[in-house]
Amino acid sequence: MLVSRVLPDPPRLDALASSETISLFLDFDGTLVDLAERPDAISVAEGLHTRLEKLSDRLGGRLALVSGRAVPDLDRHIGQPKVARAGSHGLAMTMADGGPIGPEPAALAPDVVRLFRDFAASRKLLLEEKPHGLALHFRMAPLLEDEAADFARNLANEHGLEIKTGKSVVELVARGANKGAAVHAFMQLSPFAGSRPIFVGDDMTDEDGFSAAAGIGGFGVLVGERHPTAAAYRLADPAAVHEWLGL
Ligand SMILES: O=P(O)(O)OC[C@H]1O[C@H](O[C@H]2O[C@H](CO)[C@@H](O)[C@H](O)[C@H]2O)[C@H](O)[C@@H](O)[C@@H]1O
């Protein structure tokens, strides 16, 4: 359920982890790294790779990154940590050893890619081409938000796809791409099964993760501000997330 109220800080992570068996699901952009003007302009804290691996060890391997980025893109930015990962808004999942979970998702049809490229070029919008999706970024052209969203929505309807709306971005993805579905899938597997899930994220797409975690007896932690939200707790920004996680 989405609620509108002032959210408290989450309980201390070490207190939670010592009193019960928890799993952590962490969004990436806006949660582990500050947002930047462009997808490639993010600045990743030194040693994040190793610190995430140590956190995962402390949790018995029950740590997963759940991002809208594709897994290879995440790996390009943070190395290839021995941490479970879900990319492309949950469509593509790997265990900590890099082994894939489920079949490789399909790429979008070439016709759709071509139409997106043409639209982005005609409006001078940044197009991020991903293995399983297309993201139109309007952070540097905010006046084009509605036009970009309408274009993506119409194309999604015509081609049986769906859109994800995030911070200054609208993305076209296959139906079923959903961070909540990724949480449910991980929670069926060892070492996550039977634990209490906690999902930490900043964006609209993270609401599915918050709801999924809450539905399995856990909770969500919203990074930044949004009302309403399905999260139960809040942290101010990625720096506060790092502090809470003890990274
Ligand atoms: O689920 P996430 O890990 O939060 O990924 C969501 C999208 O993040 C990236 O875009 C966002 O971050 C960019 C860099 O800070 C920023 O320029 C953009 O405005 C944000 O929307 C990424 O580029 C997308 O592919 C992800 O889906």
- Looking at ligand 1, which atom is closest to the CA of residue 36? 15
Mean pLDDT in residue range 207-229? 97
Which amino acid belongs to residue 136? L
Q: What is the mean pLDDT of the chain?
A: 96
Task: Report the nearest-CA residue for atom 7 of ligand 1.
Answer: 68
Q: CATH number for 13-102+177-245: choose from 3.60.15.10, 3.40.50.1000, 3.40.50.11930, 3.40.50.720.
A: 3.40.50.1000
pLDDT over 60 (residue 3): no
- The CATH H-level superfamily of 110-174 is Trehalose-6-phosphate phosphatase related protein; domain 2 (3.30.70.1020)
Mean pLDDT in residue range 47-56? 97
Mean pLDDT in residue range 114-129? 97
Residues noted as catalytic: 27
Find out whether the beta carbon of 25 lies less than 6 Å from any atom of ligand 1: no
Q: pLDDT at position 242, please?
A: 98
Of the pLDDT bands very low, low, confident and very high (cuts 50, 70, 90), residue 6 is confident
Tokens of 160: 């049986």
Q: What is the ipTM of this complex?
A: 0.99
Instruction: Give the residue, out of 26, 27, 28, 29, with the most ligand 1 atoms within 8 A of its beta carbon, to mutate for a pocket test.
Output: 29
Which amino acid belongs to residue 238? P
Q: pLDDT at position 1, please?
A: 57
